[in-house]
Amino acid sequence: MLYVSTSSINATSVIECVERCAHITKNIELSGGCDYEEGLLNKLIETKRRLRLKFLLHGYFPPPKTHFIMNFAENSPRTHSFITEAATFIGMLDIPYYSVHSGFKKSFGLSKEILVNPSNTNAFTIKDVGKSFSDFKMNYPDTKLALENLYPNPDRHCCFMIAPADIMEMLDRFPGVYLLLDLGHLKISSRQTGFKYAEAVELLFEKYSHRILELHLSENDGLTDKHWPIHSDSVQYMILKNFAAIIMKRKINVVLETRNSDIKEVRDCYLLINELLS
């Protein structure tokens, strides 16, 4: 099923983003980028009912009162509190799984969406990701968890699940974990770490299509996460075309995650992709 992310809409209000997305599709992924709103859950329940929407929920959502860098590998009270609130939204909005970034190996600062030097010496390993996953499954046994592959920013070793080997290690080590495959992130990783993009996509679909719950789509220059729209000559469009049968057979959700585009560009992009997946 094809969704549009609320991050595709330039607005500070979640409800405004949802209502604008609803002019394109009834399938909407709730994601970061908006301001904190008092009573947001009840507002979303009412908006979902009124507009007959279907939601997914991704990562840094709902917007907290005080912003911070969400790191799934960090087993801290702040992270646990955030995930607890996200799980409440998931349950009340009838969302089948939680998707989140796989996490950072260090504690970074953030400046204009670019990670800056580590704020302290905290270091995290794949065991910390496993601990967070175990805690999630213990607390929310009926909710699937999908981890998203990341990309080198600002160095080659800052994130988990960058290269295909990293992604496969995570999936093999934790059989209960699912994958959110971000094709834009994988493109940057291929350029910066030297693996072949098309071969990596083929390998992941061949070995793990039964573990992929979601795809994120947005184009970039292979250097930074530009979140450009998808066009008919985009590499990711060709990937979707090649794997459309598997995507539909496995019922993999596809989410358009463009940014800084006007509503017409988002709609045109949605219609282009929807034609492939119909």
Please report the pLDDT score of residue 155 as a whole number. Answer: 62
121 alpha carbon, distance to own chain's centre? 27
Give residue limits of the domains in the chain: 2-276
pLDDT tens-digit series, residues 241-278? 999 999 999 999 999 999 988 899 999 999 999 999 98
Using 70 as the pLDDT threshold, list the residues of the chain that sit under it.
108-121, 154-156
Please report the pLDDT score of residue 162 as a whole number. Answer: 95
Please report the pLDDT score of residue 247 as a whole number. Answer: 98
Q: How far apart are CA 106 and CA 182, in angstroms?
A: 21
Superfamily (CATH H level) for 2-276? Divalent-metal-dependent TIM barrel enzymes (3.20.20.150)
Q: How far apart are CA 137 and CA 141, in angstroms?
A: 5
Please report the pLDDT score of residue 33 as a whole number. Answer: 87
CA dist 31 to 58, 63, 146, 163, Å? 5, 9, 14, 24
CA dist 159 to 96, 99, 104, 106, 240, Å? 26, 16, 4, 8, 26
Please report the pLDDT score of residue 217 as a whole number. Answer: 97
Please report the pLDDT score of residue 278 as a whole number. Answer: 86
